[in-house]
Structure formats: structure tokens, C-alpha cells
Structure 1
Amino acid sequence: MTELPAKLTDWFAARGWSVHPHQQEMLERSYDPSLLLIAPTGGGKTLAGFLPTLAELSEGGHEGLHTLYISPLKALASDIRRNLTTPVEEMGLPIRIEDRTGDTSYTQKRRQRADPPDILLTTPESLALLTSYEDAPRIFAGLQRVVIDEVHAVAESKRGDQLMLALSRLQALCPGLRRVGLSATVEDPDAIARFLARHPDPCEIIEADPGPEPDIQMLEVAEAPPWAGGGAAYAIPAVLEQVKAHNTTLIFHNTRAQAEIFFRNLWLANEGNLAIGIHHGSLDRGQRQRVEGAMQRGELRAIVCTGSLDLGIDWGDVDLVIQVGAPKNVKRLVQRIGRANHRYNAPSKALLVPANRFEVVECVAALEAVRARDLDGDPRGPGPLDVLCQHILIAACSGPFDAGALYDEVRTAGPYAALTRPEFDDCLDFCATGGYALRAYDKWQRLVEREGKWQLRDPRSAQIIRMNIGTIQDSDLLKVRMQRNRGGKPLGEIEEAFAATLTPGDTFLMGGQVVRYESLREMTVEVSRSDGKKPKIATFAGTKFATSTQLSQRIIAMLAQPDWPALPGHTAEWLHLQRRMSKMPTAGRLLIESFPHDGREHACIYGFAGRNAQQTLGLLISKRMEELGLDPLGFVSTDYATLIWGLEPLTDAAPLFDGTALREGLDQWLTGNAVMKRTFRASATIAGLIQRNLPQARKSGRQATFSSDILYDTLVKYDPDHLLLRITRTEAMRGLVDFGRIEEMIARIDGRIDLMRLPRVTPLAAPLFLEAGRTPVSGAGEERLLTEEADRLMREAGLAQVS
């Protein structure tokens, strides 16, 4: 297909539009088995993905589902439906478009199964659920194309592995199915192409003109950033001025708690009563939808948000993006920048607001990476086996299957191309019996082989399996709503662990307002409005990002420069003073500073390995110090360093960094640690060993933790080589403790350690004394005490002249 039908051509002409070159190429290659389109935000990626579908359906004649659109966000699927329905209606095309997500009603879902639309917009979880039904072959009969939007986003998590397994099932049902992936930010196009393609078929890559360079810089603020902290309260006046000067501003944060705090401070300073909203995943769906609607109508001047607005939603006249706090990841920053001036060949405009002094360095490094188009990303590992176990159970729900045929089918999914038959059989045995230590228990006897085919032992178990499909492991969240006598309005969710700390009268932030905790009724937190202005802060379950490996390397390279003309004067002078007093960290060596402070000995290790790895390093090194008689008392970590304090000075660092000893220490620490139990619970839930959702009621987090802890202890004692324990170890090493980055650091320095014995705290180490959990101050005078503590530390470090 090389030309658009007349209806589409006329519609383009009536708007004075023309088809972009990459859209035309997508049309010309619409019958390729797999295509990956990389185009800038605002470059018409979604339309390029749908043009072949609209062209093929414009003349009618197709029966049933023609195109499946997969989105990583429910809101994005809804937005695409709105944007796609308008041109279809204006052209009078005989095309039915519907979305199917967790928000779709039961009645509509049943109707969609009986009578699928021409185009169905859905999410990975909803697609996996659809493939689990016995009538899946009929639902997908005639399916021609699948379009995966923001493919880079799903490829970074287990949702992507789940999606590729579902596509392997669809490809078996529809051998001629064509795959299209769309993305604006891809650091390794070939890796994403391998992920997307039906293995071993190739996936062709189409790269659009990247467009003009983004207009991105640091926000100029009269006041210097603080030495530590993440709130960026110092920048509120400057941010408000930017909001006044633009139509609509998106103000991004890395965590939900930070977004709530910033929104509250912004609102209190908003004397002009500008229309400002807040949007994040813990808010009630109704509130999110109200904010989304106001954005679409152009009624909001600013929206304080998190990753909930990262992806390709095109709402309102957004002409500025502000990133508060260091971006931690260049690819995420590029994605967020693209929300501004969402038009083809229009430069995006963005401002970075570092929350503290070190983040100034990170923000400048990120700016340089964006300008160099140097995106970051870690190589994809093999497809996780807990997701494969869930897929086997999904396959069993749809009907009896042949193990060999399912194995061959699974290996067509890119993440599982290297899966061995013994690995598959391990997963199958686990699904069938629960494994060696659990096979005596009837509840885990789920599959049985009859006449050469595997099937559910009890067909009624399909309901529970379907209710627990998915790989997103939400924290143990409780609903928050106003008291019944005050209307009972739902506000959102908070973590169960946080709710457990509340007593009647405590206040916290929810949706930007201060609310007062009244009671916990039927697993719902009931609150009332509070007149207080100083709330207790809810620690929402937002992701705490670690600085990426590539960005960390750029920061180290920047610190090694002889001068820093790109940095503000106050930050450059801070670094010059560090060089005069001690040394700067360098790429091929590990800098450790040892110094006394406040009657304790301190060691600061500059590993630049990211927060998770630096925390793990703190645990392991303090354990080694204990073994060596150095009597450590505690530690605190940031993305770039770990500060350990104790009773004895560190005079020889080499014994602390023996790779074998560190790994043995990690093994001992992990075995009985809560990290392993938490990881086990997540993997056991995905693999189907633990059901969070039951027909009667959802298990509370405490119930699920209790049952998973018992299972974990049982398996460790009686079946230490159990599949789920192997999965758990792999997951913990890769994610929560990030030991791989510690090993990378040890290999990089190769024994080259610079141990500096110094008389006092150094400029680069001083901010770590102000990190949360290190300085024991609280109450009404908290900010004043922190400021006084910062001044004292900086004077001791020789920074009296650095403002």
C-alpha cells in the first residue's frame, strides 16, 4: 500500500496537512511482519501506526477485530480513543473503536468478547486476560495488526515480557499478524527491535527526522539550592513566575510524596490564584479524570505531576515542562521534555530545577547528554521465569495444551528466545505441583496431564488465575475517603504501612490538601479536612529512581575537569574547594575519605553506583568493618556516596573491597533478610503461588506477607533449590540491592583505591550529614535547625564563603 484512499487524502487536505515522510514509509511497508518507528514527540507516531489500519478499513468489508493497540497507560488508551474517533467520524469511516482497560465496565467487556470492535485499545494486562478465555480463537479471528505505543516503556519492565508472551499466543492464533512498535526515546533501537519481533524474524527500523534541538536549560533562581534535601522549596517563586509566563506548565517530580509537598508549597505561594492541579497514581481515579479533563479544555495553568503524565498523552496547550529534582535518567528526561510544544518540528521547552547543590552537577550532566542525544539504558536480561509461570497458567485457562508446542511458541517471544527446555519444564512442573516441597499440598496441584495434554486440574480455578493476572506489584494500599458524615468522597490511596503509624488527629497531604486521620473502617482510611498548615507527610509508593550508570559516568567525567564554566559560581567554588582540601573522584579509581567529626570517625566512599547499590554497599562494608574491629555505628547513602560512622579510623581500605568477601557477605545477609522476603512475595504473586485477589475479598498486605513469609521459610528449609527461590535471588540481585553495579564498580577500579586521611569533613562529604535519617531534628523548628546545621558543617569544611 503506497497511497492513501481518497477519504483520508481529502481529510488531510481540508486541514492543510501533508503526510510526513515517516508516515508515508509506514504506509509503503505496512505489510512487513514487524516494524519499529522511532519518531520525535509530536511527530505523528500514533497516526503513522494507525494510517495503514484506517486505509485498510476505510472501504469496509472486514469482519471482527482488525487492529489491537497496546498502551502502557489506561489514560493513554482513553486519550488515543478520543483522538482517533474524531477523524474517523469526520471522514464517515465505517470503523468502530473501543478501549478495554481496568476501568471498562463488566457489561461492555462481555459485549466486546461477543462482538469485538474493528480497533481495540487496551493494556498488556487486559490483553493477557483476553487470551485466557476459551473463546480467544474466535475473539482474535481475523486480527491483522497490533500497534504497541511507547514500546520502550513496556520493554523496561515485566509488563513487556508479559506482553511479548501474549503476542506469541496471538501469533499462533493469527499467523499473518503484523507488529508495529512506536517510540520517541530509544537508546538501543536494535535491542528494542529484537524485543518486538517474532523470533527469529527480523524487525525493520524506521527513524524519522529527529526535529529541532529542545530548548532546555536550568531555571535561573536568585537563591542558591540547599546542600541537601529534595523539596526544591527555594525555587517556588521562580517556578510561579514561569507558570505566569506560559499557557500550561507540567511540573514533573520523581516521587508522589515530593509532588504532594511541592504542590502544597506552590499553592500556598499562589497569591494570584492561578488554576493549578496535581496528578499522580495514588489519587482517586475520579480526581485524576477531572484534572485530565481540565487539561484537555485548557483550564489549568500548571499541573504538578509524576510519571503518570510521562508518556504520549497530548492534553491542552502545554508549552513548558519543568523537571524538579535531578532527572536520574536521561531517557526519562527526554520523554518528559517532549510533553511541551507537542507539534512536529517545534522545539520542546524545558527547565531543570535541582533540589540541592549536588543535583546542580547532575542536572548539567543530564543537559549535556540530552544535547548529545546520548540516551541511557541497561541491557535487557532474559525473560523472567515468574512471568513465564503466569503465562503457562493463562494458557491452561484457555484450554488443554501440548507442552512441546507451548515451549516452541514461547521461544518466539524475543525475551524468551534463549529459554532452554529444562527451564521451561521447571516452570511447568511448578505450575502443576508447586514444586518438590509443596507437591503434597492439594491447593498447589493446579495442572494435570491427560492424553498427552496439560490442563487445569479443576476448571473452577480459572477464575482465581484470571483475577490475579498481571505483573504490576502495587504496594499494600488502603483507600482514603472523607468521613461518611462529610460526604464520603474518595480521595485516593496511601500505603498500609504508613496508615499503621497514624493515630486519630494526625494530618497528612492527599491531593494537595491537608486532611486529618479519623479512623480505619473496613480497610478504608476515613479522614476529615484540617485547617493545619504543617502536615505529616504520606510516603506514597512512588518509585525512588537511582541515577543511571551512564549519567553517573558523565558526572564523574565532569568532576575530573580542571574547571567548571558550565556550573553556577557557588557550585563551581564548592568543587574547587574539594579539590584543594582532598581529591576529586575519577573514573578509574575509588576515592575514600577518612576523617573525624563530632567525636566519631567517618569514612565516605564515592562509588557513584546509584542509591540502591550505595545502600547495599553501606550494609556490606559496615559488616566487613565490624569483622575487622572498626566498630561501625551506622551509615547513610545517596546516589553518589556512602558515609559510614563509627569508633575507629579507617586506615586500610583494600580488605573492605575484596569481591569474593563482599559476595559472601551479601549471600549471608540476603538469606534471612526482609529484602528477600519482599522480593519472594512479589515473584510468588506473579507466578501464581500466592493469590492477592480472591472471589470473596482481596487479601490485605499483612495477610499476604504472613503467608508468603511462611512459604519462604518453608522452602529455604526444605527445598533451597526451589524455582521460586532461584527467581527471588535473581530479582533481588538485579533490582532491590543492585549488586551488579557494585561488581561493575569493583571491576572498574581494579584495586585502585585512593584513601585520603583528612583532619575534618570535606566539602563533597558535608551534604551527606544532612541526609534524611542522619540528622536527628524534627518539629516546628526543623527547617531552622537544618539550616543552622548546614551552616556549621560548611564552615567546618572551609565553605564559609560559599553561599
Structure 2
Amino acid sequence: MRELSLRQIGDLLPNKLIDVLESEGYRSLNYIQLQALKFRAYSNLLIIAPTGSGKTEASILPVLRGIIEEGGQPIYALYVTPLRALNRDIFVRMRNIFLSIGFSAEIRHGDTPMRQRRRIAESPPHLLITTPETLQFILVDKRFREHLKNTRWVVVDELHELIDDKRGVQLTLALERLRLLSKHLKVIGLSATLRDPMIALNFISGGRGGAVIEWAERKQYRITLADIPENDKAQHEYLPPELYARVKLLVEEVSKGGVIIFTNTRDTAELIGRILSHDFNLNIRVHHGSLSREEREEAEALFKEGKIKAIVATSSLELGIDVGYARLVIQFGSPRQSIKLVQRIGRSKHRLNEVSQGLIVPLGIEDAIESAVLARRAVSGILESLDLFHEPLDVLAHQIAGLLIDYRELSLERLYAIITRAYPYHDLNFSKLVELLRFLDSIGIVRLLDDVVRMGRRTISYYFNSASMIPDNPSFDVEDIASRRKIGHLDYSFASLIDRGKVIILGGRAWTIEEISIERNKVYVTEHTGDLGEPPVWTGQTLPVEWRAARELGALYRRIAESIDREESIKLYESYMIPPKTAEKLEEIVRKQLQLGFMPSDRSLVVEFTRKNGKTLAVYHTFLGTKGNNLLALLLAFALRGFYGVTVRYYSDPYRILIYADAELGPEKLRNALLEGIDWALERAEEAIRESNAYMLELLQVATRMGVIDKSKGRIEAGYLSLLKRKLKGTPVDKEAVDSSLVEYYNVDVVAKLVEQIKTGAKRVTVHQVQELSPLAQLIFEKPFVRTGILASGLPITAVLDAVLKRLENTRVLLYCLHCGEWTSELRAGEAKSIRECPRCGSRAIAILRPYDSENLPILRKWRKGEKLSKEEEKFVEKVRQSASLFMSYGYPAVLAMAGHGIGPTTARNILSKSRDIETLVKNILQAEANYTRTRQYWED
């Protein structure tokens, strides 16, 4: 599109501003910037354009022109962004321009120092850059409210991140509160490409209308899919072979400079960052929301200045932060959504006339095929639709409290009129509002007297404690007692529901809960080798794959099967940019699948099952996407229990559902669960949802946001949520938890459509009994991260014991000769195998200590000299004597026993006395460690 120089734009901007812009390095304006200046008549404007298009300038130029022409007073404009890092970026870019034309700009968010906050409140700027959460505090601050009457503009940046989030719903009500203060407010929304722009315009305007400016030329992307690795790659200390090959690929790309590596989780970002920096000696930084502001700012600055090769980041860098020029973006693992892929890849070569370069490094064969589908959709501009929250009651409760702080009291009619101006609440039923107010009255947040709503005893404290709609998901680290390694984390709401002895699935393996320590924020587990366990709910849910993308993957499987051994298959792989080894592996899977006589695809619903020892394992190939399959799995389990009294466990990915039952289920029952059961379960969907972990997670969030749980009092007791669930049933908290679950985790429409297709015969259901699950079914076990469901049981017990023995052998111990007192040796326990006696005096009285006991060796010298000892010193000497006695009796096995975590001489003697060989010794050590972990709170420190 044609650009115009600043001197060619006529009277669109004052000459004073043109001079300033030129001094700041601006030479011309592009299409969206020119269009934004032309739409003077509209009070609301939506600008849609890709990263690097100058959307920020397009929104600020009308503000700058307006403040010069009107001589605006503070606070003339608000710039609201969902990310603090983006706040900083906007501030740096705009501060000098505002100062140069005689006005001021400031930034205010959660990281702003208190001294600076006071200064801003006492002398507000003309442009205030802030976040949706901080805006909540500004709106009720008396020092700001008088200045907010001067506000003429609000810019909402990265709108696409807010529309399908409760933060965005909260912002729509905040804008209505701002419109009560400022009668001539103009709102400009900035967004990446959206599927439905009119929804976004209505969202910021409250349905008042406005104009949409959209960049007509599609941004060009070149996305490459890395090939799957060879199976014989060298093993790495931290990664399995297949992931090690991918990290090596990252190293090759990073060495060329200017790379952003995106991962889907913070854990993965930290792991990749550590390996690249520590093991490959690359100068890189990690960037995610759990890091301090200083760490994030330094990483951004170093990358922008070219002082580091790469940044490994989560979504914290996918928004429009200016981190300088990136040559390439690498996506580690499937991006899960084409819209996310576009945003992330768009960070490379982000100028509009350049082709953004991206490389996806898949984590498995289906991860690769999913990535290929999403890459094709991203390049073609086929993006996901947004799942909007409709009338969320927790957001409404908080904003009612804010309105009461603003005005002290409001009539019901007036309150209802204000609320329903916000787009998400246009259709709010009056009785629903009254029911919410009565509940809030019952817990002291408001007072409802006839048709007047007043402040309650908790209004102010509740408003300030619950201002953030960002999910507060505390989690417990999960530590394996056998290896003493962190293996993952459990969401707090899930951990509060489980007890010692319960079996869970984490990282694709089954674990037995040994202890939950709230004080240490840890869950201690041991490997479980029996039946399958229960899946946890993770903090930070993985991004859902939309049903359209899942359906296309099902269609791709079908098309590969139809074209196998024909030239069309080559064209098909090329059209999806599937590299050779991946295509070869995929074709191998499809061939094996066809040999079984059935091929799951988008056009049919295939059920396969196998029975063994009175149990049933069944897979439903559905291709309904993450949310569709989440709900279908839940309803299948609900229907099987309701129809046949069979309790099942389940797991779902975007393409299939696995059902595991402790009963033999035949083809008719498995078919009937679909044909009749899902229809029946849909009518009782709310009842089923209340039994899910997703509901419990939402209940925790909603109860906290609505003031039922006080965050300031710290963690709640384990089991409290179950009690809360019973007490709150039927209340607005319960109803909102169900409704939120239906938006966040489930898709009713997709499941209802499937039921209709089955009824009309548009989708044929076939059931097949198999000896073992088919190749496509087995891909369900490939997924590295799951939210709900079931995976195979853990490693064989021998593998577990081998791991424990290796850990014990690598544990450092301190050997000390109690006879001569002259010989000590710190070494690994395994290195003590050859030691039979003291090399200095020949005695077998060798004590087995911990390395940190070396500082207590002077106590032994005091003891040998006959000096007086304290009670603590006497206890230490006795421990040393007992351990020396163990070595004299058992030799090397005593060293292994004493190397166990929390094992002293008394416990070690008990272990050794009943251990006939190394295997039973290791088993007994592991059991003793588990007992210690469970009971250590009763031990003296």
C-alpha cells in the first residue's frame, strides 16, 4: 500500500507535530495511520493489522492532534495494554513526542514504585499508560477521578488478547464507568487479525458502533516444519533422544543470531534455556511471566542491542513488544492454534514488506502433523474464532462493588442501566442481577434495601483484594522420593482434593501420593506400578486446538490413506510442507492402520476396544478439538456410569478419547454410550461438569473473585473445596463456575452437532474389537502434557529400583575411622564398594556420615580426649558409633542404606536385617524414605 511523507498529508496533522515526528525519525505514514487520522467523526475505532504495521502510531496520532488542537488537560488519554512489558515499550516510544509538544506521559502499573505512584496521583500526566487491573484502582481513587473527567481518548492495545478473557469483560464495564465521568469519550482498539471484527468493535464500543480500519494486504509468512529426528540420536542428561535432536537443531539456528524461541510452558522455556546456555555455552536469556520485572527488562534490552543470540520465551513475548530485529522465530512444539502461530512468527522480520520466517520443531509425529495443519491455516489466514464469556457473574460482582465505591449508593434501575451498556451484559436478565445482589448482601459485599443498593461492610476490602481477573493458580511441586527430582506440578485445587495413597498420572507415568506438604509447597510421590491413576489439572492450561483444525487433521489422515502409493501423496505432503522423514513415518503409521481394516477420519466415528482380565480399554476417534473432546469424554464417562453402573477413567486429546473401565464392555454398550448416552448426558451436562476437575478449578477461581474465599488469608485447607462445593450449590458462585467451565474447557455446540450427525446418519459409527490398540489410537500416549485423562501405567518395578540404586550410589557420603581418628574420605557411596577397612590402621570401625558432618568432626576429637560433651554432642557421637557398628556388621550394604534420604543408624539396621539381597535392600530403603517423608513433620530438626 502507498505511503505518504509527512509533508504530503496536508492538514491531517498540525505542522508543530510534523516537526516533532520528523525529529523522532518518522518520515512517512502508511495506510492505517492515514485512515485513522481521517475518521474524525467516529467516537469508536477498531484498527486491525499484523505486527510491525505501526498500529500504535495509528492510535496515538489522532490523540496527539487532538491534544494540540484542544489544549487538553490531564488525564487527556489512557493507553491500556494487557502486558506490563508492553506498557514499558509504549512509554519509551511516546514519552519524547509528548514532551516535545509540551505535554507529559507516564506509566502506572503493578510494578510501579510507590514513590512514583504518589507523584503521578498528585500530578497526573496527559497520557497515562496502564493495565486493565491498574485502571480498576485509578477509577476509584479520588485524586484521579476529577482528572478522568478530562479524558477524551482510551486506546486498548492487543485487543485480541482480551476479548475472550474475563480481563476483557472487566475492561468493558470499566469503560462504561469511565463514560459516566467523561461524556465525550473516544475508544480505539488495536488488534491482530480477527475472524469477526464486528464483535471486537461492539466489545469496545458497547454496541454504539464505529469504524473498522483493516490492513488489506496479507502479511507474508514462510513457515518450515523441522523433520522428525532419527531414533538413534545420542542420549542427553536432561532430554530423551528425540528431544535432544531438536535442541541441537535450535543450537544450529541460534548460532546464526537474532532468534526468538517460543515454548508453550514456562517449565520447557527454563529447560531449553538452561541446556542452550549451560550445555552449549550460548549467550541467551529466558523470558516469561514468573521472572522478575528486572530480569525481563534486561533480557529485552540485551536482545534489542544485539548482545545476546536468542531469547527463549512463552507468550510473554508474543505481543507487540519492541525487542528489536529478530531474524527467525522458532516454535518448540505445536503452537496449538494458527492465531498464536501468526502472532509468534510475526515477531521475526516484522516490517510489513518482509516475509516473516518461522521454524516449528515438533515433539512427536502427531505433534508434527498438527503443526503442519496449523502452519497451512496460518499462511492462508484461516484463524480460530473466539470463545466469549457471556455475563460472567464474578466480573459483575467486582464491578458492582466499584460502582458503589464511586457513588456510595445506586438504585437498582440505575445500576441495571449502567451494566447493560457493556457488550457482554447487553442481554442480562434483571432477575439474575437481583439474585446476584442478594448473594453479595449475604456475604457483606453490598446492602440491598428494597430497590436501592448500598455499600456493605466488605465493599472496599473486597474490591481492592479482587481487582485482578488473571487466574490465580497456585501449584505444588511434585517430587519423586526415589530420585529426589521435581517431576512436575499439580494445580492447588486438584492437590486439595487428593489424599495420601491416591494414584495420579503425571508426565506419562503413575505415581502414588506419599505426602502433601502445604508448608513446603510440595507433593511427595513414589512410582506406582499397578492400575492406572487419576490425571491432575495443570496450572496454566495448554492452549486448546479448535475443532476446525482437528477436523482438518482427520481429513488429512483420510487423504493420505486414499492417496497412498500414488503420486497424489507427494503433492499432498508438499501442500502441507511435511518434510521427508515425517512423511515416511506418517505413511508407515497409515499403512499399519489400513491393515487393520478401519481408518479413523473426519467422515466417520471409529470406536476400537480391547478387553483383558475383566477390564476394557476403548478409543473413540472423534476429531472434535480439545474442548469438544474434553466434554465428550466427560459425558461418555457419565453415560456409562448412568446406563451400566460402570465407573470409567478417561483421557482426551483433540482427536480421540480413551476410556478405561474396570469391567468388560462389549461393542453394543460402547456404541450405545454414543448413540443414546451422550444425548441423555447432554441434558444433565451441568451435573456432569460439577463432577469434573475443571469445575473445581473454576470454583476456586470464582469463589475467590466473588469474595467467598479471602486470598489475603493464604492457602485453604486440603479438602475445603469439596465442602465449599456442597455449600455453594445453586448459588451464583456455583452457576458461574459451571458457565466458566463451559467457556474455558468445554464446547457444547460441537458435541451437540456430533449427536445430530449420528442421529441423521451423516456420521457413521463403527465399533472394532482389536488385540491391541491401533497405531492411530496409540498416538494418544505420545502427548507430553495433558489436562484430564489417562495414560499408561509407569515403568516396571525393576526400572524404578535401578533408578533408586543409581541415585544411592551417586549420593556423597563421608567415611571416618572411629578407631584411629586419622582417616576420612568423602566419596560417592558406590565408590565405597572396594573399601573393607581403614587404609591407615586396618580397623573395620568405619563410621558412615553425611558430608556436612565434617564440621562436627572436632566433637569426635573432644570425645576421644575424654572432654565433657553437651547433650547434642553426645547424640552425635552415639550416631557415629552406631553407624560404625553397621559397617563392621554389613560392610558396603550399610553404606547404601545410610545414603538413603532421612535414614539414620537405627532405621538402617532394621533395613539391613531384613534385606536378603541388593534388590530387597533397595526396596526397603525406598520404603523407609517414603515413611520418613510422610512423618518428618514429627521429627526433631
Give me the TM-score of the superposition, normalised by structure 1.
0.81
Quick one: structure 1 residues 623 and 673, their matched pair in 2 at CA, closer, same or farther if it must change by over 3 Å?
closer
Residue equivalent to 1:205? 212
Q: Structure 2: which amino acid aligns with 1:605?
A: Y
- 1 CA distance for matches of 2:411 and 2:648? 58
Deviation at 1:540, TM superposition (A): 7.6
Kindly name which structure, 1 or 2, has the bigger radius of gyration based on alpha carbons: 2
Name the CA distance, whole Å, in 2 between partners of 1:479 and 1:77: 32
Greater mean deviation of Cα atoms: 663-672 or 152-161: 663-672
- Find the counterpart in structure 1 of residue 30 from structure 2: 20
1:747 equivalent to 2:756? Answer: yes
Show the 5 A alignment for 1:690-709. Answer: 690-692=709-711, 698-703=712-717, 709=722
Instruction: Specify the SS of the correspondent of 2:285.
Output: strand
| Equivalent residue number for residue 474 of structure 2 | 476
Query: What is the rounded CA distance, in whole Å, between the counterparts of 2:52 and 2:324 in structure 1?
Result: 13
Q: Distance in 1 between matches of 2:734 and 2:492?
A: 26
Aligned to 2:359: 351
- Residue from 640, 647, 661 that aligns with 2:655: 640
Task: Please report how far the alpha carbon of residue 78 of structure 1 lies from its aligned counterpart in structure 2 after TM superposition.
Answer: 1.2
CA distance in 2, matches of 1:627, 1:392: 41
- The residue aligned with 1:172 is 180
Indicate if the aligned counterparts of 1:399 and 1:455 stay in contact, CA closer than 8 A.
no
CA RMSD of aligned residues (A): 3.6
Change (3 A) 1:495 1:730: closer
Any residues of structure 2 matched to 1:582-601 within 5 Å, and which?
582-595=597-610, 601=616
Distance 1:30 1:588 in 2: 51
CA–CA separation in structure 2 for the residues paired with 1:260 and 1:639: 26
CA contact (8 A) 2:88 2:107 kept: yes
Deviations 1:460-489 (A, max 9, x none): 741342232121121125899xxxxxxxxx
Change beyond 3 A, Cα 1:708–1:632: closer
Partners of 1:110 and 1:185 lie apart in 2 by 38
Higher relative contact order (CA 8 A, sep 6+): 1
The equivalent residue for 1:284 is 292
* Residues 571, 309 of structure 1: alpha-carbon distance in 2 compared, 3 angstrom cutoff: same
Match in the other structure for 2:419: 410
Q: Deviations 1:246-274 (Å, cap 9, x if unpaired)?
A: x321111112222233333434541xx22
Contact 1:33–1:203 at 8 Å: present in 2 too?
yes
- Choose which of 314, 328, 334 in structure 2 pairs with 1:320: 328
Partner of 1:777: 795
- 1:575-597 CA-to-partner distances (Å, cap 9, x unmatched) read 24323423333334311122457
Match of 2:667 in 1: 651
Cα 1:191/1:779, change in 2 over 3 Å: farther
Q: Give the deviation of 1:77 after TM superposition.
A: 0.8
Secondary structure of the residue aligned to 1:168 is: helix
Partner of 1:70: 80
Pick aligned residue for 1:688 from 693, 707, 710: 707
1:130 is the counterpart of 2:138: yes
What are the within-5 Å matches in structure 2 for residues 75-114 of structure 1? 75-88=85-98, 92-114=100-122
* Partner residue in 2 for 1:342: 350
- Secondary structure (helix, strand or coil) at the match of 2:213 reads strand
Task: Give the distance between the partners of 2:241 and 2:47, measured in 1 at CA.
Answer: 36
Question: Do structure 1's residue 257 and structure 2's residue 257 form an aligned pair?
Answer: no
Structure 1 pair 30–295 and aligned structure 2 pair: CA distance change class (3 A): farther
Q: Is the 8 A contact 2:651 2:658 kept in 1?
A: yes
CA 1:73/1:744 → structure 2, altered by over 3 Å: closer, same or farther? farther
- Provide, for residues 536-559 of structure 1, a one-character-per-residue CA deviation record: whole Å limited to 9, x for no partner: xx9983331221122112212222
Q: How does 1:703-718 map to 2 (within 5 A)?
A: 703=717, 709-716=722-729
- Is the 1:74–1:123 contact (alpha carbons within 8 Å) kept by the matching residues of 2? yes
The reply to whether residue 560 of structure 1 matches residue 570 of structure 2 is no
Taking the aligned partners of 1:403 and 1:629, their CA distance within structure 2 comes to 50
Give 2:252's aligned residue: 241
Alignment partner of 1:252: what SS?
Answer: strand
The answer to whether the 8 A contact 2:231-2:242 is kept is: no
AA in 1 matched with 2:587: A
Answer whether contact 1:225 1:232 (CA < 8 A) is retained: no
- Hey, what does 2:695 align to over in structure 1? 676
8 Å contact from structure 1 (residues 257, 539) kept in 2: no
1:39 corresponds to 2:55: no
TM-superposed CA distance for 1:152, in Å, is 0.9
Secondary structure of 1:155 counterpart: coil
Sort the Cα spacing of 1:344 and 1:667 in 2 relative to 1 into closer, same or farther, 3 A.
closer
In the TM superposition, residue 635 of structure 1 has moved relative to its aligned partner by 3.8
Deviation at 1:560, TM superposition (A): 2.3
Distance 1:34 1:686, change over 3 A: same
Superposed CA deviations along residues 95-119 of structure 1, whole A, max 9, x for unmatched, are 2111111111233323323322110
Alignment correspondent of 1:730: 739
Q: Is the 8 A contact 1:187 1:331 kept in 2?
A: no
The residue identity in structure 1 corresponding to 2:714 is S
Distance 1:86 1:677, change over 3 A: same
2:455 — aligned with what?
A: 456
- How far the C-alpha of 1:520 sits from its partner, in A, is 9.2
Question: Equivalent residue of 1:590, what SS?
Answer: strand
How far apart are 1:296 and its partner, in Å? 3.0
> CA offset at residue 68 of structure 1?
0.5
In terms of mean alpha carbon deviation, does 13-22 or 659-668 score higher?
A: 659-668
5+ long unaligned stretches in structure 1? 435-442, 481-492, 502-518, 526-537, 693-697, 786-803
Number of residue pairs aligned between Structure 1 and Structure 2: 716
AA of the residue aligned to 1:242:
E
Supply the distance in 2 between the matched residues of 1:462 and 1:611 (Cα, whole angstroms): 40
Deviation (angstroms), 1:135: 5.2
**1:238 shift after superposition:** 1.3
Q: TM-score, normalised by structure 2?
A: 0.70
Confirm or deny that 1:299 pairs with 2:307.
yes
The residue type paired with residue 795 of structure 2 is V
Q: Alignment partner for residue 140 of structure 1, among 144, 148, 152?
A: 148
- Could you tell me whether the CA contact under 8 Å between 1:257 and 1:540 is conserved in 2? no
Alpha-carbon shift at residue 386 of structure 1 (Å): 1.8
2: CA distance, partners of 1:475 / 1:231: 31
Correspondence list, 1:154-553, <5 A: 154-199=162-207, 201-220=208-227, 222-223=229-230, 232-245=243-256, 247-270=257-280, 273-400=281-408, 401-431=410-440, 433-434=441-442, 443-444=443-444, 446-449=446-449, 453-458=452-457, 461-476=459-474, 541-553=539-551
C-alpha separation between the residues in 1 aligned to 2:232 and 2:467? 45
Q: CA deviation at 1:178?
A: 0.3
Change (3 A) 1:399 1:667: closer
Identity of aligned residues (%): 26
Preserved CA contact (<8 Å) 2:391 2:424: yes
CA 118–708 in structure 1, closer or farther in 2 if over 3 Å, else same? farther
Is contact 1:630–1:648 with CA below 8 Å preserved after alignment? no
Native 8 Å contact 1:221 1:238 kept in 2: no
**Per-residue deviation at 1:660?**
3.2
Alpha-carbon separation, structure 2, partners of 1:759 and 1:498: 35
Q: Is the contact between residue 602 and residue 623 of structure 2 (CA under 8 Å) also seen in structure 1?
A: no
Partner of 1:55: 65
- Asked if the contact 2:445–2:455 (Cα under 8 Å) also holds between the matched residues in 1, the reply is no
Structure 2 unaligned residues grouped into runs of 5+: 1-9, 234-238, 479-488, 499-515, 523-535, 564-568, 785-790, 804-941
Instruction: Give the deviation of 1:666 after TM superposition.
Output: 4.6
Kept in 1: contact 2:45–2:188 (CA 8 A): yes
Is the contact between residue 549 and residue 609 of structure 1 (CA under 8 Å) also seen in structure 2? yes
> 1:424 and 1:632 mapped to 2: Cα distance?
39
Contact 1:101 1:123 in 2 (8 A): yes
